[in-house]
Structure 1
Amino acid sequence: MGRLLVVGELCVDLIVELDGPIDFGQAERIVPSTTLAMGSSSAITACGAARLGVPTSLVSVRGDDVFGRFLASELDRLGVEQSQVRVDASTPTGSSTHLTRPDGDRAILTAMGSIGAVRAEDVDLAGAARIHVGSYFLQHALWPGLPGLFAEARARGIPTSLDPNFDPAETWDSGLLPLLEHVDVLFCNEQEATGITGEESLDAAIDALLAAMPADARVIAKRGAEGAVLASGDARTLATAPALEWPLVDTVGAGDSLAAGYLAAILRGLPPTEALRWGVAAGTLSTRAAGGTGQQATAEEAERFARLSTVA
Structure 2
Amino acid sequence: MRTFDLLVIGDANPDVIIGPLRAPLDFGQREQLVDRGLMTLGGSAAITACGAARLGLSVAFAGRVGDDEAGRYVRDRLAARGVDVSALHLDSGCSTPLTVSLTRDTGRAIVTAPGSLDTLSGRDVPERLLTRVRHVHSASYFLMPALARDLSTLFRTARAAGATTSLDTNDDPAGRWTSAPLTEVLWETDLLLPNAQEARRLAGVPEDAELREVARSLTRLGPAVVVKDGAAGALYDDGSTVIRAPAFPIEARDTVGAGDSFDAGFIAARLRDRPPPQALALAGVCGALSTRSLGGTDAQPTWAEALDPSPITGALPS
Number of the residue aligned with 1:156: 161
Number of the residue aligned with 2:39: 36
Deviation string, structure 1 residues 120-144 (Cα, Å, up to 9, x no partner): 1222314210000011111211122
Amino acid in structure 2 at the alignment position of 1:123: V
Number of the residue aligned with 1:308: 316
Number of the residue aligned with 1:204: 213
> Pairwise mapping of residues 104-253 of structure 1 onto structure 2 (< 5 A)?
105-124=107-126, 125-174=130-179, 175-200=181-206, 201=209, 202-213=211-222, 217-244=223-250, 247-253=251-257
* Secondary structure, counterpart of 2:89 in structure 1: strand
Q: Which runs of no fewer than 5 residues in structure 1 stay unpaired?
A: none
* Secondary structure, counterpart of 2:120 in structure 1: coil
Is 1:261 paired with 2:270? Answer: no
* Secondary structure, counterpart of 2:309 in structure 1: helix
User: How many residues are treated as equivalent by the alignment?
Assistant: 304
Number of the residue aligned with 1:277: 281
Relative to structure 1, the CA distance from residue 126 to residue 152 in structure 2 (aligned partners, 3 Å threshold; closer, same or farther) is closer
* Secondary structure, counterpart of 1:14 in structure 2: strand
Which of 289, 292, 310 lines up with 2:296 in the alignment? 292
How far apart, in 2, do the equivalents of 1:242 and 1:18 lie?
Answer: 24
| Deviation for aligned residue 1:150 | 1.2
Greater Cα offset, 131-140 or 170-179: 170-179
Sequence identity of aligned pairs in percent?
41
How far apart, in 2, do the equivalents of 1:224 and 1:192 lie?
Answer: 12
| Deviation for aligned residue 1:265 | 1.1
TM-score (norm 2): 0.91
Structure 1 stretches of 4+ moved >6 Å: none
Aligned partners of 1:219 and 1:231 also within 8 Å? yes
Greater Cα offset, 34-43 or 174-183: 174-183
| Deviation for aligned residue 1:238 | 1.1
Q: Which runs of no fewer than 5 residues in structure 2 stay unpaired?
A: none
How far apart, in 1, do the equivalents of 2:220 and 2:32 lie?
Answer: 50
| Deviation for aligned residue 1:37 | 0.6
How far apart, in 1, do the equivalents of 2:118 and 2:262 lie?
Answer: 22
How far apart, in 1, do the equivalents of 2:293 and 2:69 lie?
Answer: 24
| Deviation for aligned residue 1:305 | 3.4
Deviation string, structure 1 residues 69-112 (Cα, Å, up to 9, x no partner): 11111111111110010110111100000001232x10001001
How far apart, in 2, do the equivalents of 1:196 and 1:170 lie?
Answer: 10
* Secondary structure, counterpart of 1:75 in structure 2: helix
Aligned partners of 1:198 and 1:205 also within 8 Å? no
Relative to structure 1, the CA distance from residue 180 to residue 36 in structure 2 (aligned partners, 3 Å threshold; closer, same or farther) is same
How far apart, in 1, do the equivalents of 2:19 and 2:245 lie?
Answer: 30
Is 1:69 paired with 2:63? Answer: no
Aligned partners of 2:63 and 2:88 also within 8 Å? yes
Relative to structure 1, the CA distance from residue 68 to residue 298 in structure 2 (aligned partners, 3 Å threshold; closer, same or farther) is same
Aligned partners of 2:64 and 2:124 also within 8 Å? no
Amino acid in structure 2 at the alignment position of 1:206: A
TM-score (norm 1): 0.93
Aligned partners of 1:41 and 1:135 also within 8 Å? yes
Deviation string, structure 1 residues 178-235 (Cα, Å, up to 9, x no partner): 321111000001221111121232223212211110xxx4100000122211111232
Aligned partners of 2:98 and 2:113 also within 8 Å? yes
How far apart, in 1, do the equivalents of 2:21 and 2:96 lie?
Answer: 29
Which of 10, 13, 17 lines up with 1:11 in the alignment? 13
* Secondary structure, counterpart of 2:174 in structure 1: coil
RMSD of aligned Cα (Å)? 1.7
Greater Cα offset, 35-44 or 146-155: 146-155
| Deviation for aligned residue 1:15 | 0.2
